[in-house]
């Protein structure tokens, strides 16, 4: 479903991604871990075209992105990918001028052109699913961080995405709120939602992931099922990282 080959991304002279290759299958929960500055977030943002790639290729759901596409064609493909790929940000990025319900309705109504009534019913169901049915008319700033992030997940789900990208979804939250959000994500995983998660929450990675990728200095240092990566790491980099993360 996602197939990344030799992905290179530079910020100015600095090479942030130095040839990343990995695959994600339908129904996978792929967790990306690794020390800060390893290129995890940049990698995630390349997957839905928020960052342009410098070389290599990304195939998402049958649409391929690579460097050097004509701008128009690139724009078309990026839009196509985004229509099927949701994203959840570390800082939530809810739309502050809209109520919770409007946040969730916005894209289905204005991008997918769904009838507002139908979209509203679905949005209410999604709020139920993330445990916030009473907050439909609240404004984002009236919600706690954990609640905002759950709304952000509902907002992503409203587009019926094939894949959801999570960019450190709990890094801005305290432990209690982190728990709320991770439990929603765990439910999603158990329902078979394909997810790519960049996180520092090792417990979540251990319990929920079926594939863990360790990023280090712009490369995938090690990939494998969680029990292998966490239980019997093959690379020094992984061991070092796990030792640091345990502290």
Partner 1 sequence: MAGPARADTLDEILERGGFTWGADEEGGGPFIFPDPADPARRTGFEVDLAAALAAELTRSLGRPIEARFCQAQWDKLPDLLKTGRIDLVLNGYEWSPERAQVMASTVPYYVYELQLLARAGDGRFAAGWDALLGPERLKVGVLGGSAAERHVAERYPAAELKSYDGNTNAMGDVVKGRLDATVQDLPIAAFYGKEFPALRVAGEPAAPGRYVIFVRKEDGRLREALDRAILALRDRGALREIYGRYGIWTRVQEDPVLTSLPAATVTAEALTVAGFLAKHGRTFLEAAGMTVLLSLVSMPLAILLGILVALGRLYGPRPLSLALAAYVEALRGTPLMLQLFVIFYVFPAAGIRLDAFAASVLGLAVNYSAYEAEIYRAGLQAVHAGQMEAALALGMSRGLALRRIVIPQAVRIVIPAVTNDFIALFKDTSVCSVITVVELTKRYNIAAMTHPAEVLPLAAVTGLLYLAMSYPLSVFSRRMERRLHG
Tell me how far, at minimum, the Cβ of 89 lies from partner 1, in Å: 6
Q: In the complex with partner 1, which residue's Cβ is closer, 105 or 209?
A: 105
Total site size for partner 1, rule CB under 8 A: 25
Q: Is 69 in the site for partner 1 (CB under 8 A)?
A: no
Of 29-37, 93-101, 182-190, 218-226: span binding partner 1 (CB under 8 A): 93-101
Q: Give the contacts of 63 (CB within 8 A, at least 6 positions apart).
A: 77, 80, 81
Backbone angles phi, psi at 38, to 5 degrees: -85, -5
Three-class secondary structure of residue 26 per DSSP: coil
Which residues on neighbouring strands pair with residue 58, listed in sequence order?
4, 65
Backbone angles phi, psi at 23, to 5 degrees: -130, 145
Q: Is 141 exposed, middle or buried (0-12, 13-18, 19+ CB in 10 A)?
A: exposed
Q: Give the contacts of 234 (CB within 8 A, at least 6 positions apart).
A: 222
Tell me how far, at minimum, the Cβ of 54 lies from partner 1, in Å: 19
Q: Is 110 in the site for partner 1 (CB under 8 A)?
A: yes
Q: Is 136 in the site for partner 1 (CB under 8 A)?
A: no
Of 146-205, binders to partner 1 (CB under 8 A) are 155-156, 159
Q: In the complex with partner 1, which residue's Cβ is closer, 160 or 227?
A: 160
Tell me how far, at minimum, the Cβ of 115 lies from partner 1, in Å: 18
> Binding residue for partner 1 (CB under 8 A) from 72, 96, 246, 247?
96
Q: Is 87 in the site for partner 1 (CB under 8 A)?
A: yes
Q: Is 97 in the site for partner 1 (CB under 8 A)?
A: yes
Q: In the complex with partner 1, which residue's Cβ is closer, 93 or 206?
A: 93
- The token pair at 206 is 């251990």
Q: Are the C-beta atoms of residues 52 and 45 closer than 8 Å to each other?
A: no
Lay out the site mask for partner 1 across 11-50 (x = CB under 8 A, - = otherwise).
-------------------------------------xxx
- The token pair at 54 is 């410098």
Write the CA distances from 3 to 76, 133, 219, 232, integer angstroms.
Answer: 19, 37, 15, 26
Q: Are the C-beta atoms of residues 230 and 209 closer than 8 Å to each other?
A: no
Tell me how far, at minimum, the Cβ of 91 lies from partner 1, in Å: 6
Q: Is 93 in the site for partner 1 (CB under 8 A)?
A: yes
Q: Give the contacts of 131 (CB within 8 A, at least 6 positions apart).
A: 150, 180, 184
Q: Which residues bind partner 1 (CB under 8 A)?
A: 48-50, 79, 82-83, 85-87, 89, 91, 93-97, 106-107, 110-112, 139, 155-156, 159
């Amino acid at each position: 479903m996602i197939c990344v080959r030799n992905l290179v991304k530079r910020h100015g002279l600095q090479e942030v991604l130095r040839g990343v290759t990995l695959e994600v299958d339908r129904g996978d929960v792929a967790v990306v871990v690794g020390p800060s500055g390893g290129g995890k977030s940049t990698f995630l943002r390349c997957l839905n075209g928020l960052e342009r790639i410098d070389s290599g290729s990304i195939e998402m759901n049958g649409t391929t992105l690579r460097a050097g596409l004509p701008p128009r064609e690139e724009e078309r493909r990026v839009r196509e990918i985004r229509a099927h790929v949701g994203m959840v940000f570390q800082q939530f990025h809810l739309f502050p001028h809209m109520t919770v319900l409007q946040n969730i309705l916005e894209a289905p109504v204005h991008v997918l052109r769904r009838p507002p009534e139908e979209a509203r019913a679905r949005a209410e169901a999604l709020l139920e699913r993330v445990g916030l049915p009473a907050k439909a008319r609240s404004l984002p700033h009236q919600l706690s961080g954990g609640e905002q992030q759950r709304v952000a997940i509902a907002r992503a789900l409203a587009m019926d995405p094939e894949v959801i990208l999570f960019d450190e979804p709990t890094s801005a939250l305290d432990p209690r709120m982190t728990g709320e959000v991770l439990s929603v994500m765990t439910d999603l995983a158990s329902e078979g939602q394909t997810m790519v998660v960049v996180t520092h929450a090792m417990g979540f990675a251990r319990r929920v992931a079926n594939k863990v990728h360790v990023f280090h200095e712009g490369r995938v240092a090690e990939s494998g099922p969680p029990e292998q990566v966490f239980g019997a790491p093959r690379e020094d980099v992984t061991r070092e990282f796990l030792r640091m993360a345990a502290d």
